[in-house]
Amino acid sequence: MSIAEAGEFGLIARVVARLENGPATLLGPGDDSAIVAAPDGRIVASTDVLVEGRHFRRDWSSGADVGHRAAAANLADIAAMGAVPTALLIGLCAPNDLDLAWAEDLAGGLSDEAARTGASVVGGDTSFSPTLTIAVTALGDLGGQAPVLRSGAQPGDVIALAGRIGHAAAGYTVLSRGFRTPKALVEAYRRPVVPYAAGPAAARAGATAMIDVSDGLLQDLGHIANASVVGVDVRTGAFEVSSQMRDAAAALGVDPLQWILAGGDDHALAATFPPGVELPAGWTVVGKVHEGTGVTVDGKPWSGPVGWDHFR
């Protein structure tokens, strides 16, 4: 059945049936607005849009995959402030002939990914549109911690990383060359594994700056360098290249370092910590902050691309 056959209210009923309520949900879907607990007295909020053909392809990803990835992209932005996600709101614009089951799976993926952080989908809106588009807004709570901005890095700080890096970019390359394996890389692209808890843990440990690596490590560290008015140097020796990634890179004629330094979509977290701070579990040092500007790799300018171009 298409969503047009289900009708707007039919679509909403089926989608809402796939959602689960989290502890912060004081009022879920069905009224003019949702109500979400904000015990800190401040709310962290972020919006991302995903457009078919640019951010996802239905022949590469299931509805559930797209839901997981859309939620992850937003929830990672909340974690990167040092906050704990509480809620998602979804704007779904879809063509009339979209399969109702696809929309239901999308809702299930969004809800399941949110549940990993304790958050849930609390509301949204739907409209018909010729272009399948998913707008996600995530809310989060700082739990009394100061937010970790991009602007606090200091010369002498270490740069550390939590989460996988390069896997999603490798999976994207695999898919774009027409392959469906290795499965681990393709799955990394379809459903990023985001270290959500590492964000608040970094805040508690005294992280001075933090960012969600969504566009590519060098480009995103460039945002920290610019906002903090510092220079950043990344050590390539710090990155472990899995044998799977190495084999895929060799088969596809790609430098795996390219995936690691410039690949997006893994939604790892990058943060800076004062020297001597004991890093929380899951964080690994990958470089250093120094006086100056810009981003270097092993002390030298990087000649390759620095960031990820979605379907460009």
Binding mask 165-204 for a copy of itself (x = CB under 8 A): ----------------------------------------
Nearest to 188, CA basis, from 238, 111, 132, 244:
244
Is 50 or 185 the residue whose CB approaches a copy of itself more closely? 50
Grouping H, G, I as helix, E, B as strand and the rest as coil, residue 161 is: strand
Binding footprint of a copy of itself, residue count (CB under 8 A)? 63
* DSSP state, residue 282: T
Per CB under 8 A, the list member of 35, 184, 238, 254 interacting with a copy of itself is 35
Cβ neighbors of 259 (< 8 A, separation 6 or more) are 166, 167, 169, 170, 173, 245, 249
Report whether 29 contacts 21 (CB < 8 A). Answer: no
- Decide: is 267 part of the binding site for a copy of itself (CB under 8 A): no
Q: Which range of residues in 10-18, 205-213, 271-279, 285-293 is near a copy of itself by CB under 8 A?
A: 205-213
| DSSP-derived secondary structure for 87-103 | EEEEEEEE-TT-BHHHH
- CB of residue 19 to a copy of itself, shortest distance in Å: 14
Query: Tokens representing 194?
Result: 């985001």
φ, ψ of residue 255 in degrees (nearest 5): -80, 120
- CB of residue 47 to a copy of itself, shortest distance in Å: 4
E strand or H helix at 287: strand 283-290
Per CB under 8 A, the list member of 4, 51, 241, 257 interacting with a copy of itself is 51
Q: Partners of 289 in the beta sheet?
A: 232
Report whether 48 contacts 89 (CB < 8 A). Answer: no
- Decide: is 137 part of the binding site for a copy of itself (CB under 8 A): yes
Chain centroid to CA 171: 15
Report whether 142 contacts 86 (CB < 8 A). Answer: no
- CB of residue 288 to a copy of itself, shortest distance in Å: 22
- CB of residue 237 to a copy of itself, shortest distance in Å: 28
Is 80 or 245 the residue whose CB approaches a copy of itself more closely? 80
Q: Which range of residues in 35-43, 274-282, 287-295, 298-306 is near a copy of itself by CB under 8 A?
A: 35-43
Is 145 or 296 the residue whose CB approaches a copy of itself more closely? 145
* Residues in 76-115 that interact with a copy of itself by CB under 8 A: 76-78, 80-81, 83, 87, 89-93
CA dihedral sign, ordered 251, 66, 55, 114? negative
Residues at the contact surface with a copy of itself, assessed by CB under 8 A: 26-27, 30-51, 54-55, 76-78, 80-81, 83, 87, 89-93, 122-131, 133, 135, 137-140, 142, 147, 149-151, 210-212, 227
